[in-house]
Amino acid sequence: MKALVKREAKEGLWLEDVPQPEVGPNDVLIKVKRTAICGTDLHIYNWDKWAQKTIKTPMVIGHEFVGEIVSVGTNVVDFEAGQIVSGEGHVVCGHCRNCMAGRRHLCNDTSGIGVNRPGAFAEYVALPAANVWEHRPGIDLDVAALFDPFGNAVHTALQWPLLGEDVLITGAGPIGAMAAAVCRHAGARHIVITDLNEKRLALAAELGATRTVNVTQEKLEDVVAQLGMSEGFDVGLEMSGSPAAFNSMLDNMAHGGKISMLGIPGEDTAIDWNKVIFNMLTIKGIYGREMYETWYKMSVMVETGLDITPVITHRLHYTEFQQGFDAMKSGEAAKVILSWE
Of residues 35, 194, 212, 294, which one binds ligand NAD by CB under 6 A? 194
**Nearest Cα to Cα of residue 43 among 338, 262, 325, 340:** 325
- How many residues would you count in the chain? 341
Q: What DSSP character marks residue 113?
A: B
Q: Does residue 110 belong to the site contacting ligand NAD (CB under 6 A)?
A: no
Q: Does residue 286 belong to the site contacting Zn ion (CB under 5 A)?
A: no
* Rounded distance between C-alpha atoms, residue 177 and residue 230, angstroms: 25
45 labeled part of a ligand binding site:
no
Could you tell me how many residues of this chain bind ligand NAD (CB under 6 A)? 27
Q: Does residue 328 belong to the site contacting ligand NAD (CB under 6 A)?
A: no
What residues contact residue 71 under an 8 Å CB cut-off, 6+ apart? Answer: 23, 28, 29, 81
Q: Does residue 172 belong to the site contacting ligand NAD (CB under 6 A)?
A: yes
* DSSP string covering 130-162: GGEEEPPTT--HHHHTTHHHHHHHHHHHTTS--
What angle in degrees, to the nearest 10, is found between the helix axes of 198-207 and 174-185?
Answer: 30
54 in active site = no
Q: Does residue 152 belong to the site contacting ligand NAD (CB under 6 A)?
A: yes
326 labeled part of a ligand binding site:
no
Contacts (CB under 5 A) with Zn ion, residues 101-130: 107
Among Zn ion, ligand NAD, none, residue 245 binds (CB under 5-8 Å by kind): ligand NAD
43 in active site = yes
Nearest distance in Å: CB 96, Zn ion? 3
Of residues 87, 119, 174, 324, which one binds ligand NAD by CB under 6 A? 174
Q: Does residue 196 belong to the site contacting ligand NAD (CB under 6 A)?
A: yes
* Rounded distance between C-alpha atoms, residue 163 and residue 50, angstroms: 38
Nearest distance in Å: CB 333, ligand NAD? 9
Nearest distance in Å: CB 199, ligand NAD? 9
CB 169 within 8 A of CB 180: yes
Binding mask 262-291 for ligand NAD (x = CB under 6 A): xxx---------------------xxx---
How far CA 303 is from CA of 130, 151, 295, in Å, comes to: 23, 15, 12
Q: Does residue 170 belong to the site contacting ligand NAD (CB under 6 A)?
A: yes
How far CA 282 is from CA of 3, 107, 257, in Å, comes to: 43, 23, 6
337 labeled part of a ligand binding site:
no
Of residues 18, 42, 96, 316, which one binds Zn ion by CB under 5 A? 96
Q: Does residue 168 belong to the site contacting Zn ion (CB under 5 A)?
A: no
Among Zn ion, ligand NAD, none, residue 93 binds (CB under 5-8 Å by kind): Zn ion
* Rounded distance between C-alpha atoms, residue 80 and residue 168, angstroms: 43
CB-CB neighbours of 229 under 10 Å: 18
Which contiguous run of DSSP H or E holds residue 285? strand 282-285
Phi and psi based region of residue 4 (left: phi greater than 0; alpha: psi -120 to 50; beta: remaining):
beta
CB 200 within 8 A of CB 172: yes
- Where in the sequence numbering do the catalytic residues fall? 40, 43
Which residue numbers belong to the known binding site for Zn(2+)? 38, 63-64, 93, 96, 99, 107
Contacting residues toward ligand NAD, per CB under 6 A: 39, 152, 170-176, 194-197, 200, 215, 239-242, 244-245, 262-264, 286-288
Contacting residues toward Zn ion, per CB under 5 A: 92-93, 96, 99, 107
Which residue numbers belong to the known binding site for NAD(+)? 175, 195, 200, 262-264, 286-287
